[in-house]
Amino acid sequence: MSAAELSLAVLLLLLTPGPTNSLVLVAGAERGWTGAMRLVPAELAGYFLTVLPLTLVGAVVLSDHAGLQKAVTLAAAVWVAVLAVRLWQPLAAVKGGQSVAARMLLVTTALNPKALIFGLVLLPSPDRLVLNLALFAGLVVLVAALWAAAGAFLRRGAVGQPRALFVLRRLASVWLAAISVLLMIRGTGA
């Protein structure tokens, strides 16, 4: 796969709405673009926590332990369900007035099913591994900036008002709950 093809594949997958992007969007709405961008190192760390081991030895480990992928999928489903519940709570009930913390984003990203695709399918390449990982990191930052900008844009409009932020948080909660259910179905093989 050429660098251009890899970039397009990674970019399209990263842009897809999911748990990490939902949290970055909410962070942008709560904190503004600059505040949300302060969380990007946690997102990068979360991705690399999963992607690096998978890129280096993941295919071998998963082929030897068939239940491991299901276990990771179920763990991700449970975590995303916890996030959905947390975002459902009124913002006033959240410590510090901001629902998205760096630790939450790191764990969510590390358990993100997209990381499996990146680490097992898109990024492994013995002769271009460093280049692929650098390209991946740059695209993660770019996509995080876009989702944070979308949240910040909503903040400038009506979302900066408590009622609109409440609605955005509830919509993100419902979206995450739906993702959690899909992951549970996939993880149980139902």
| Cα atoms found within 13 Å of the Cα of residue 175, Cβ hemisphere only | 17
pLDDT in tens, 124-183: 887 898 999 999 999 999 999 999 998 888 877 655 566 677 777 788 888 888 888 887
Between CA 142 and CA 125 the distance in angstroms is 23
* Banded model confidence at residue 63, pLDDT cuts 50, 70, 90: low
User: What's the pLDDT score for residue 51?
Assistant: 93
Q: Is the pTM of this model over 0.85?
A: no
Alpha-carbon distance of 113 to 46, in angstroms, equals 12
Domain segments of the chain as ranges: 3-7+34-188
Angle between helices 19-37 and 40-53 (to 10 degrees): 140
Q: What is the largest CA-CA distance in the chain?
A: 52
- Contact (CB, 8 A) for 140 and 134: no
